[in-house]
Homo-oligomer: A and B are copies of this chain.
Amino acid sequence: MYERKIPITLDCGLDLIGEVLYGKWKIRMLYFIAEGCVRPSELQRKIPDASRRVLTMQLKQLEEHELVTKTIYPQIPLKVEYSLTEFGKSLLPVITMLGQWGDEHQERLRNVIEKQYTTTQMMSDQMV
CB closest chain-B residue, reference A100: B13
Q: Are A4 and B36 in contact (CB under 8 A)?
A: yes
Q: Chain A interface secondary structure, helix, strand, loop or mixed?
A: helix
Is B90 within 8 A of A105, CB to CB?
A: yes
Q: Determine if B1 and A116 form an interchain contact, defined as CB atoms under 8 angstroms apart.
A: no
Cβ-based interface call for A123 (8 A): no
* Interface contact A98-B14, CB-CB below 8 Å: yes
Nearest to A83 among chain B residues (CB) is B1
- Which chain A residues in 2-58 approach chain B with CB under 8 Å? 2-6, 9-20, 27-28, 31, 33-36, 38
Q: A6-B34, A64-B119, A97-B94 are in contact. Are A13 and B112 (CB under 8 A)?
A: no
Copies in the complex: 2
Q: How large is the interface on A (under 10, 10 to 19, 20 to 34, 35 or more residues)?
A: 35 or more
User: Cβ of A35: which chain B residues have Cβ within 8 Å of it?
Assistant: 2, 4-6
* A22 CB → nearest B CB, Å: 10
Which chain A residues (86-128) contact chain B, with CB distance < 8 Å?
87, 90-106, 108-110, 112-113, 115-116, 119
Besides A10-B100, A14-B31, A17-B99, 13 other A-B contacts (C-beta < 8 A): A1-B38, A2-B33, A6-B35, A6-B96, A10-B96, A11-B31, A14-B102, A16-B102, A16-B103, A16-B109, A18-B102, A19-B113, A87-B108
